[in-house]
A and B are shown apart, each in its own frame.
Chain A
């Protein structure tokens, strides 16, 4: 982890460039929905412009925590022999990735704070009812989100063990995830039937839930059951990853790169 922090500090400028490009997305959503809220007399779906601001500012951190090794990278990873090299080490290759990216996340959190301050000054979010409990839950929730998404994208990436014609699958996945995770809009603004479907999927636990744990109006029960759901999904996805990994490695060893 220490090494990745060092590496990342050297590229601080590039990181900021990247982050500024990234906050454009939530800012757009924020402005659009604030406009709608204003047109509808001050709030829409229970969200005022201030509430939207809070949602989308926290969004930026959660988004960052969500960025993990891209499934597109698995093809190169497998074919360029990197995987072979890592299989020879006594640590499971995924541990390596998780720690590396986790190290980066620490840097990201630190770099995010000034950005968050700036955004707060510009968009004036309503932050009055944040409790200490919510902050604590939030802290755990973002790491839960990180783990779930790591597992999900690893699953996607492992499809590459069997075929490289994967972009269709990936694109569909990302599109669905965008809509059902709370990234596009807070889930409560979605039509009922969509929310129902989303309840069965892990997506909202990687995005919407962490945000709402901090700035939403979740009851204590909901806060903890949310963490529970995250744990559940972590267990499910990790199990799936181990299983698929075993089959994938078997195939990899049989076929080679």
Chain B
């Protein structure tokens, strides 16, 4: 356990969900005889995160990502397993523990709706007991980084979604926590705003050496920020490692893009034709056949250009989640 920021061992969370059908009769029955179904939201996952690491959690809706984050921040008690964050047991909700973490949820607001963010920030200062000088310094730093100087006095309800998210993040980092739990922080934002937020998180991580655990749907978030990725599906940990390794591991396919001299050559015999654009054809082939097919192609046809690529990570992930790829 020692120096790691986050250590999770065989963590599990089960929910008993009542089952009920629609209709008057069923409602009456439900009064007396409740049927329950056991849902394993998190099913014995284990991993360790070192200080300063930025880890991305990938998984479809309902995979267990948010549940895991909630357990790590002390909001949910695990059904079984051990977990420790910064040496604390999160569910004790020790005040010293809470002072060093922060939880940001992309679709939920903490800031007071009718007041300028500046007032909510003051509130956070009081809640976390941040010393005035330090608070001002950190605030100025963040406000400058995100270029929102002229917005902090505008009521939150008058800000755009992206601006609001910037404020939410600032507010949640004012106490310079060591561990950040970010749950879908860029959800619903436009591409530019997503990049700004990502850059900001990266900056914070660099300047303060904070550990970041981030969940997202967007591959771009993960690709931009995280060197390490944990894939969760149906509550189980499918993969824990680098992003490139993910493709390696999960994809059984490669893409070959070739520009042929012969314009109408039919090379569909070599593999699945994904795309045809004049002389440029894109094929999908089994990974294991890569050298064989490349060699054959080049020997039988004249090519101006040939590229062998991994399928985009999105496709791989999508196939993992829809079950067509096996880990």
Contacts and interface: CB of A to CB of B under 8 A. Distances in A.
Interface string A5-21: 01001100000000000
Contacts of A6: 24
Q: Which size class do B's interface residues fall under?
A: under 10
Contacts of B24: 6, 9
Contacts of A9: 24, 27
Nearest to B27: A10
Interface string B23-64: 010010000000000000000000000000000000000000
Contacts of A10: 27
Q: Is the interface of A mostly helix, strand, loop or mixed?
A: helix
Contacts of B27: 9-10
B317 to A, nearest CB: 40
A147 to B, nearest CB: 28
A237 B44 CA distance: 68
A6 B28 CA distance: 11
A6 B27 CA distance: 10
Nearest to B24: A6
Interface string B1-40: 0000000000000000000000010010000000000000
A72 B24 CA distance: 32
A14 to B, nearest CB: 14
A10 B27 CA distance: 7
Nearest to A6: B24
A9 B24 CA distance: 8
Nearest to B28: A9
A10 B24 CA distance: 8
Nearest to B23: A6
A107 B244 CA distance: 63
A98 B183 CA distance: 46
Nearest to A2: B24
A9 B27 CA distance: 9
A90 to B, nearest CB: 28
A70 to B, nearest CB: 25
A242 to B, nearest CB: 36
Nearest to B30: A10
A132 B24 CA distance: 35
A10 B23 CA distance: 10
B54 to A, nearest CB: 43
B43 to A, nearest CB: 34
A10 B31 CA distance: 10
B134 to A, nearest CB: 46
B27 to A, nearest CB: 6
A9 B25 CA distance: 11
A39 B102 CA distance: 65
> Nearest 3 A-B pairs (CB), nearest first?
A6-B24, A10-B27, A9-B24
4 contacts: A6-B24, A9-B24, A9-B27, A10-B27
Interface of B: 24, 27
Interface of A: 6, 9-10
